[in-house]
Amino acid sequence: MEKEIKGVQLSGKINIPPSKSDGQRAVLCAGLATGQSIISNLGGSNDEKAMVQNIQQFGAKVEIRGNETVIDGSISFPNNAEFNCGESGLGLRLMTGICAVFEGKHTLTGEGSILNRSQSFFIEEFPKMGLEVQTNNGFLPIMLNGDLKPGIYTVDGSQSSQYISGLLMALPLLKADSELIIHELKSKPYIDMTLSTLASFGIDIRVEGNRYFIPGNQFYSATNYKVESDWSSASCWLAAAALGQKIELSGLSISSKQADVAMLDALYAANCNVEFLVDSIRVDGEKRRAFTFDATDCPDLFPALVVLAVGCIGKSIVKGVHRLKNKESDRGVVLQQEFEKLGIKIELLEDEMHIYGGTLMKSAKINSHNDHRIAMCMGIAATVIEAGVIIQDAESVSKSYPTFWDDLEDLVVRD
């Protein structure tokens, strides 16, 4: 699907959708819990739908009641099953960890861009933990045979925190204690989110520096859980507000453990004024300026940060480019290529992205590379380009934010 967005003025209040990251964690925990959990404010993204389907496949019962998702957890797990995680990297990594706990043969696969993403972590780490692992030359599907053994394991956390989250969800289910020692952990806020969700479902993990002590023989306990609004989705709207769009964002918690709450720090670095109202956030970017920001622990912010940077005169620097390689697209390269079509110069220098802003952007046809975050950031950029932009594969937003285009349309000021 192609979407044309022309230069428009936006105004109004937008209610930020639920976090698919928080939602997927909660759904999986509820699916593993004994008893009935009620998840409120669960979103309708493709990633969340895939996780719901997976817990149903391993025996959980799910019922939708308005804004509540009622989940009766499963007390058994199939010895032989295949799980499709859609395009969700998080869903795949969490489900692979859980499948590893249960004896038998389990296959994990997916769709779309995830088929092109390396699964080297499982190949390198799982055999050390007692599992036989097969892949398609390092890519999906992943086939596991055996079951995870308790023990003390040293693992590499530099690729993604999602692998670690999968292990943290899995190891408490073993019959004996385990310990994870993580080297070069990236995106630690996402690990903190996992630990917080696990605690809500009765799982206890003790942390000392880079060591995670995980008692065995634990059980997930059913609970009522409210999914937070999504700071990742909010980041593009915050960038839009900084560029002069008169919008307010509601539903966000500034005490959130989500990594992308760091977008506030980026706005401060760009000399924007952030105003916290009773139930919303407003941004004044009239005095914005070029900035430097380290996004190593929050790589999903890169698209929004580029949009912010193009509206700042001078060179902005965003660090952490190495975290973009194994996303839905090679985001560093894609951002460089697509913004070049709009007349924006971006350089990739080792682990830094240099964005030269303050130039009037021109109209172009943009390829989102089927990446939801690229599509959304281009949609926001288009609102300040008089002749507009045509975005290819615009439907990719359904991965995380199915109503994005509708929300954008609702904010357009009509003559």
Q: Are residues 185 and 237 in the same domain?
A: no
Judge whether 300 counts as a catalytic residue.
Answer: yes
Within a domain: 224: no
Tell me what the mean pLDDT of segment 397-410 comes to. 95
Instruction: Say if 33 falls within a structural domain.
Output: yes
Indicate whether 10 and 52 sit together in one domain.
no
Instruction: Supply the pLDDT for residue 157.
Output: 87
Identify the residue whose tokens are 């391993």.
58
Beta bridge partners of 12: 247
The answer to whether 26 touches 228, Cβ cutoff 8 Å, is no
For residues 31 and 158, which has the higher predicted lDDT (pLDDT)?
31
Q: 241-276: per-residue pLDDT in tens?
A: 999 999 999 999 999 999 999 999 999 999 999 999
Please give the average per-residue pLDDT across 190-200, as a whole number.
Answer: 96
Residues 283 and 392 in one domain: yes
Residue 374 parent element (H or E): helix 372-382
Write out the two tokens for 19: 């976090």
User: From CA 286, how far away is CA 301, in angstroms rounded?
Assistant: 21
Secondary element (H or E) of residue 4: strand 3-5
Per-residue pLDDT, averaged over 391-403, amounts to 94
Q: Mean pLDDT, the chain, as a whole number?
A: 94
Q: Does any domain span residue 115?
A: yes
- Answering whether pTM is above 0.75, one says yes
Query: Averaged over 206-215, what is the pLDDT?
Result: 97
Separation CA 266–CA 109 (nearest Å):
36
- The domain total for the chain is 2
Running DSSP on this structure, what letter comes out for residue 149?
P
Whether 292 and 187 share a structural domain: no
The CATH number covering residue 302 comes to 3.65.10.10
Helix (H) or strand (E) holding 102: none
> Does pLDDT of 327 surpass 70?
no
| Residue in 22, 260, 297, 300 annotated catalytic | 300
Same domain, yes or no: 35 and 10: no
Q: What is the pLDDT of residue 391?
A: 97
In a shared domain, residues 246 and 327: yes
How far is residue 324 from each of residues 183, 200, 275, 350, measured CA to CA in Å? 19, 31, 31, 12
Q: Is residue 300 part of a domain?
A: yes
CB atoms within 10 A of CB 89: 19
pLDDT of res. 205: 98
User: d(Cα 69, Cα 383) in Å, to the nearest integer?
Assistant: 35
Is 128 found in the same domain as 245?
no
Reduce the DSSP state of residue 253 to 3 states and report it: coil
pLDDT at 187 over 90: no
Q: Is 65 a member of any domain?
A: yes
Q: Does residue 221 belong to any structural domain of this protein?
A: no
The rounded distance, in Å, linking the Cα atoms of 346 and 333 is 9
Q: Based on the domain organization, do 196 and 329 belong to the same domain?
A: no
Q: How far apart are alpha carbons 366 and 341 in whole angstroms?
A: 7
Domain boundary among 157, 178, 212: 212
- 91 and 155: one domain? yes
Query: CA Rg, the chain, in Å?
Result: 21
Do 46 and 171 lie in a common domain?
Answer: yes
**pLDDT category of residue 159 using cuts at 50, 70 and 90:** confident
In a domain, 245, yes or no: yes
Give the pLDDT of residue 325. 76
Q: Say whether pLDDT at 48 is over 90.
A: yes
State which residues form the domain around 94. 20-212
The tokens describing 113, both together, are: 């861009």
Strand order in the sheet with 3-5: 3-5, 389-392, 364-367
328: confidence class by pLDDT, cuts 50, 70, 90: low
pLDDT range class, residue 88, cuts 50, 70, 90: very high
Taking residues 30-35, report their average pLDDT: 96
Query: What is the biggest distance separating any 2 CA atoms in the chain, rounded to whole angstroms?
Result: 67
139 shares its domain with 286: no
Of 154, 187, 212, the position where a domain reaches its end is 212
Beta bridge partners of 389: 5, 364
- Report the candidate in 350, 285, 362 with the shortest Cα–Cα distance to residue 318: 350
Q: Strands 152-156 and 178-183, how do they pair?
A: parallel
CA angle 403, 388, 332 (to 5 degrees): 70
Query: Are both 113 and 125 inside the same structural domain?
Result: yes
Tokens of 24: 């997927």
Residue 279's CB: how many other CB atoms inside 10 A?
Answer: 11
Is the model's pLDDT at 326 over the cut of 80? no
Contact in structure between 40 and 67 (CB atoms under 8 Å): yes
Specify if 167 maps to a domain.
yes
Q: How many CB atoms lie within 10 A of CB 15?
A: 12
- pLDDT recorded at residue 343: 96
